Structure 1
Amino acid sequence: MARVLVVITPAEGHVNPSLGLVTQLIDNGEEVIYVCTEEYRSRIEQTGAQIITYPFPQDAFSHDPVLKPQEYKHPYQFIYMMVSGIIRRIIPNVLQVVEDQKFDYMIFDSLMGWGGTILAEKLGIPAVCSIASFAFVEPLGSSSVLNETETKELYEATMKITTELAEELQVSIPAMEEIPAHAGQLKLVYTSRYFQPQAEKLDDRFIFTGPSIITRQDAPTFSFELLRERYPQTVYIAMGTILNKNLDFYQLCFEALGDLPVNVVLSSGKYTDMTPLANQVPPNFIVKPYIAQLDMLQHTDVFITHAGMNSTSEALYYNVPMVMIPLTSDQPLVANRVQELGAGITLNKHNLSATNLREALTEVLHNSLYRRQAYLIGESLRQAGGYTRAAEMIMSHMGSGRGSYTI
Structure 2
Amino acid sequence: MARVLYVTIPAEGHVNPTLGLVKQLVDNGEEVVYMCSEAYRTRLAQTGAQFRAYQLDEQLFRELGFHPTEVKHPLQFTDFMLRGIIELHIPEILRQTENDSFDYLIFDSLFGWGGAILGEKLGIPTICSVTNLAFTEPLSQIVEVFDAGDLDVEALSERVTKIAESIAREYNVALPAIEDITHQYGQLKVVFTSRDFQPDADKLDDSYIFTGPSITPRLDAPSFPLEQLRSQYDQVVYISMGSILTKDVDFYKLCFEAFRDVPAQFVLSCGKDTNLDSLGDIPPNFIVEPYIPQLEVLQQADAFITHAGMNSTSEALYYDVPLVMIPLSSDQPIVAKRVEELGGGIILDRSQLTPAALKSGLLQVLNESTYKEHAKRIGDSLRSAGGYQEAARRIMSLFSKV
Question: What amino acid is the match of 2:133?
Answer: F
Provide the C-alpha distance between the structure 1 equivalents of 2:304 and 2:256, rounded to a whole number of angstroms.
Answer: 15
Cα deviation 1:233-279 (Å, max 9, x = unaligned): 010001110001110110100011111111000011122212111x4
Asked if 1:180 corresponds to 2:182, the answer is yes
- 2:32 paired with 1:32: yes
Provide the rounded CA distance (Å) in 2 between the counterparts of 1:255 and 1:34: 45
Structure 1's 312 and 73: CA in aligned 2 closer, same or farther, altered over 3 A? same
| 8 A contact 1:238–1:268 mirrored in 2 | yes
Deviation at 1:173, TM superposition (A): 2.1
Kept after mapping to 2: 8 A contact 1:71/1:141:
no
Evaluate the alpha carbon distance shift between residue 7 and residue 224 of structure 1 in structure 2; reply closer, same or farther with a 3 A threshold: same
Instruction: Summarize the Cα distance change of 1:59–1:197 in structure 2 as closer, same or farther, 3 Å threshold.
Output: farther
Question: Given residue 120 of structure 1, which amino acid in structure 2 is its aligned partner?
Answer: G
SS in 1 for 2:222: coil
Most deviating of 32-41 and 158-167 = 158-167
Q: How do residues 10-29 of structure 1 correspond to structure 2 at under 5 angstroms?
A: 10-29=10-29
Shift of 1:74: 3.4
Inter-partner Cα distance in structure 1 for 2:118 and 2:265: 49
Residue by residue, what CA displacement relative to the aligned partner does 1:11-38 show, whole Å, maximum 9, x if unpaired? 1110111110000000110000001110
- CA distance 1:148–1:228, change in 2 (3 Å): closer
1:190 matched to 2:192: yes
Range with bigger deviation, 250-259 or 159-168: 159-168
Tell me which moved more, 131-140 or 306-315.
131-140
Q: Would the aligned equivalents of 2:105 and 2:124 in 1 still touch at CA under 8 Å?
A: yes
Q: Are 1:4 and 1:32, in contact at CA under 8 Å, matched by a contact in 2?
A: yes
Partner of 1:69: 68
Aligned to 1:133: 132
Shift of 1:54: 1.3
> Structure 1: how far apart are the matches of 2:335 and 2:298?
18
Rounded to whole Å, the distance in 1 between the matches of 2:113 and 2:323 is 34
Instruction: Name the CA distance, whole Å, in 2 between partners of 1:146 and 1:65.
Output: 17
Q: Is the 8 A contact 2:71 2:146 kept in 1?
A: no
- The change in CA–CA distance for 1:265 and 1:58 in structure 2 (over 3 A counts) is farther
Contact 2:303 / 2:324 at 8 angstroms: preserved in 1?
A: yes
1:54 corresponds to which letter in structure 2?
Answer: Y
CA distance in 2, matches of 1:109, 1:230: 43
Please report how far the alpha carbon of residue 222 of structure 1 lies from its aligned counterpart in structure 2 after TM superposition. Answer: 1.4
Task: Check whether the contact 2:60–2:84 (CA below 8 A) recurs between aligned residues.
Answer: no
State which of 230, 235, 246 in structure 1 corresponds to 2:248: 246
Q: Which residue of 2 aligns with 1:257?
A: 259
After the TM superposition, which of the residue ranges 156-165 and 69-78 deviates more from structure 2?
A: 69-78
SS in 2 for 1:229: coil
| Aligned-partner residue type, residue 394 of structure 1 | I
Note if 1:301 corresponds to 2:302: yes
Q: Deviations over 1:192-211 (max 9, x none)?
A: 01000011111111000000
State the shift of 1:79 in Å.
1.3
Cα distance in 2 for residues equivalent to 1:58 and 1:84: 13
Find the residue that maps to 2:359 and give its secondary structure. helix
Partner of 2:102: 103
Instruction: Report the counterpart of residue 225 of structure 2 in structure 1.
Output: 223
Alpha-carbon offset, residue 347 of structure 1: 0.7
Which residue in 2 is equivalent to 1:405? none
Q: Which has the higher mean CA deviation after the structures are superposed, 88-97 or 290-299?
A: 88-97
- Residues 1:304 and 1:149: Cα distance change in structure 2 (over 3 Å): closer
Output one character per residue of 1:314-343: Cα deviation in whole Å (capped at 9) or x when no partner: 000000001000011000000000011111
User: Do the aligned residues in 2 keep the contact of 1:294 with 1:314 (CA within 8 Å)?
Assistant: yes
Distance 1:109 1:33 in 2: 14
Answer yes or no: is the 8 Å Cα contact 2:64–2:80 preserved in 1.
no
Counterpart of 1:233? Answer: 235
Q: Could you give the per-residue CA deviations for residues 21-71 of structure 1, whole angstroms, max 9, x where no partner exists?
A: 00000011000000111000001000000011111047998x675442136
Helix, strand or coil at the partner of 1:260: coil
Identity across aligned pairs (percent)? 55
1:121-157 per-residue CA deviation (whole Å, 9 max, x = no partner) reads 0000000000010001121425486599933222111
Residue in 1 aligned with 2:6?
A: 6
Conservation of the 8 A alpha-carbon contact between 1:343 and 1:370? yes
1:206 corresponding residue in structure 2? 208
Query: Contact 1:109–1:129 at 8 Å: present in 2 too?
Result: yes
Deviation of 1:160 (Å): 1.1
**Residues 97 and 167 (structure 1), Cα distance of their counterparts in 2 relative to 1, 3 Å cut:** same
Contact 1:60 1:67 in 2 (8 A): no
Counterparts of 1:199 and 1:144 in 2: how far apart (Å)? 26
CA distance in 2, matches of 1:377, 1:141: 24
Instruction: Specify every segment of 5 or more residues in structure 2 that has no aligned partner in the other structure, as ranges.
Output: none
User: Counterpart of 1:364?
Assistant: 365
Q: Which amino acid aligns with 1:191?
A: T
Mark the CA change 1:58 to 1:313 in structure 2 (over 3 Å): closer, same or farther. Answer: farther
Q: C-alpha separation between the residues in 1 aligned to 2:372 and 2:63?
A: 38
- 3-state secondary structure, aligned to 2:230: helix
Amino acid at match of 2:128: C
Which runs of no fewer than 5 residues in structure 1 stay unpaired? 403-407
C-alpha displacement of 1:227: 1.7
Counterpart CA distance in 1 for 2:348 and 2:363 is 13
Query: Residue 165 in 1 paired to residue 164 in 2?
Result: no
- Whole-angstrom distance in 2 between the partners of 1:142 and 1:332: 9
- Counting matched residue pairs gives 399
Is the contact made by 1:78 and 1:141 (CA closer than 8 Å) also made in structure 2? no
What is the root-mean-square deviation in Å for CA atoms of aligned residues? 2.0
Residue aligned with 2:69, SS: coil
CA gap 1:149/1:60 in 2 versus in 1, 3 angstroms = closer
Secondary structure in 1 matching 2:77: helix
